[in-house]
Every structure is written in C-alpha cells, then in structure tokens.
C-alpha cells in the first residue's frame, strides 16, 4: 500500500494537539485531552478499537455487515496494521489515562501507491475499499492540487462513551500541525457520515467530490447505506 516513509528527524511518538472538552462522567467538568502519535505498543489495542467500534458504526461497514465477516475483519485489520507501520496514526487520550478515547488511521498517500482490490477474499472489504478509492480517484487530487503526496485516512472513530463532546473535531484538527511538521499541504479523506462530515467542515475541510449513495449503487457498488451522501473532503494546509 503506502510507500511514504516518516522522516527519521521527526520525533516519534509526539503530541500534535491538546484541548479541553467535557468529562463524560460529569456534566460540568472540563478535562484535558491530547492527540498524539499512536505508540507501537498500542497498535493491537488500536486495531481492536477499530474492529469493535468502527466496523459496527461506520455506515458502509455497517451496511455490509463487516463486523460479522471473520475474513473481512481479518483483512481490514491487516490494512490497519500496514497503515500503523507508517507511524502516522494518531490516538486521543484523556489526561491521566491510557484509555483510547478516539483514533484516526492516518496515512500519507503518494502517486506511486496502489491497492489491488481483487486480492481481498471478503466481498465486503472489496466493496468498502473500492468505493473509497473510487471517491478519492474522482478528485484527481495530485493534479488538481499539484501535490506529490497528501495526508489521508482509513477510518476515524471515537469511543461511544466520548461521543457528543467534540472529540472528532479535535482529532481532525490535529492534522493541521501534523501536515505542517511534514511539509504536507493537503489532507483528503472520504467521509461517509454526517458524524464525521460535520466535524471535518468545522476544521476547514471542503467538499471535493460528493456522491449520493443511491447513485453509487446504480454504478454497481454494493452500498445499501441509510445515509444520503458520501463525500471526499479536502483541507489545504499552509
């Protein structure tokens, strides 16, 4: 998949963003959170989080029943492990705790990258990956934005206990400092649900390619998704 390598001179792991948000155990208390590189020793925990929460809640994965597909779970977990090897994944922790609050499976994409969807045994994984790649390809991002690489992602997830606190927005905001540190001027991701589309817009992402799921189905993608729009959204970073 990814060919980009994290430069050795960039410290790893490091914190990219700190913020205050509500404590889910208290109505009035604000606590400190941080978004940082995913430590190598937490990769297994991160993948377990994604398999438990992302596969269950993300509209495409949910509609395809991916969480109940053992082969699909194994294959998507392999994708996430390959992504984690690039050392770009960010995780959110609350102060004084190592509990995973949220994750963004970040990856840097280059012109030389490619994914052969036919290699996946699971039809659900093929549908999920091919639909995501189709949306990204429609943006023609390398030419439109005149870049050789950009920051993307294979999943954003917040633990159910911490939803509704603005955590997703802050995890996405961490991309700005991340991009600046690596000299990246563009971040682009396919967001399939208002729960990620709205936070992305708050950070500054703009719609690049918008497709109705019903139209994607007519094109042959097996996506019986109960959400209206799938969006490729982009963020320019200066």
How much is the pLDDT for 125? 94
pLDDT tens series, the chain, 238 aa: 568 999 999 999 999 999 999 999 887 799 999 999 999 999 999 999 999 999 999 999 999 999 999 999 999 999 999 999 999 999 999 999 999 999 999 999 999 887 778 889 999 999 999 999 999 999 999 999 999 999 999 999 999 999 999 999 999 999 999 999 999 999 999 999 999 999 999 999 999 999 999 999 999 988 888 889 999 999 999 9
C-alpha distances in Å from residue 231, one per residue of 107, 132, 138, 169: 18, 10, 11, 16
Q: How far apart are CA 214 and CA 123, in angstroms?
A: 19
Residues 6 or more apart whose CB falls under 8 angstroms from that of 210 comprise: 229, 230, 231, 232
Closest CA to 1 of 136, 116, 106: 116
Residue with tokens 């609350």: 94
Q: What is the pLDDT of residues 64-97, one digit of tens each?
A: 999 999 999 999 999 999 999 999 999 999 999 9
- The string of DSSP letters for the chain reads -------TTS-SS-EEEEEEEE-TT-SS-EEEEEEEEPPGGGHHHHHHHIIIIIHHHSHHHHHHTGGG-HHHHHHHHHHHHHHHTTT--EEEEETT-----EEEEEEEEETT----GGG-S-HHHHHHHHHHHHHHHHTTHHHHTT-SEEEEEEEEEE-GGGTTSSHHHHHHHHHHHHHHHHT--EEEEEE-SHHHHHHHHHHT-EEEEEEEHHHHHHTT-----SSSEEEEEEEE--
Cα-trace Rg, the chain: 17
CATH number listed for the domain at residues 15-236: 3.40.630.30
Cβ atoms within 10 Å of 220's Cβ, excluding its own: 9
Sheet of strand 149-158, all strands in order from the earlier edge strand to the far edge: 15-22, 30-37, 90-94, 102-110, 149-158, 186-191, 229-236, 206-212
Q: Where are the domains of the chain?
A: 15-236
């Amino acid at each position: 998949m990814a060919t980009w390598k994290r430069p050795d001179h960039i410290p790893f792991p490091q914190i990219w963003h700190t913020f205050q948000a509500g404590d889910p155990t208290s109505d009035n208390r604000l606590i400190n959170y941080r978004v940082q590189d995913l430590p190598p020793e937490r990769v297994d925990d991160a993948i377990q989080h994604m398999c438990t929460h992302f596969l269950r809640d993300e509209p495409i994965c949910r509609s395809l029943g991916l969480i109940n597909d053992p082969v699909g779970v194994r294959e998507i977990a392999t994708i996430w492990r390959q992504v984690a090897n690039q050392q770009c994944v960010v995780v959110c922790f609350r102060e004084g705790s190592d509990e995973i609050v949220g994750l963004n499976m970040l990856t840097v994409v280059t012109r030389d990258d490619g994914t052969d969807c036919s290699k996946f045994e699971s039809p659900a994984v093929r549908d999920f990956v091919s639909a995501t790649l189709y949306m990204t390809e429609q943006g023609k991002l390398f030419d439109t934005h005149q870049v050789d690489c950009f920051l993307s992602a294979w999943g954003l997830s917040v633990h159910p206990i911490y939803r509704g606190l603005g955590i997703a927005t802050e995890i996405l905001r961490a991309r700005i400092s991340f991009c600046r540190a690596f000299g990246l001027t563009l971040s682009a991701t396919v967001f399939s649900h208002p729960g990620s589309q709205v936070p992305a817009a708050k950070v500054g992402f703009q719609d690049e390619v918008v497709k109705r799921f019903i139209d994607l189905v007519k094109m042959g993608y097996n996506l019986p998704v109960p959400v209206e729009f799938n969006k490729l959204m982009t963020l320019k970073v200066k």
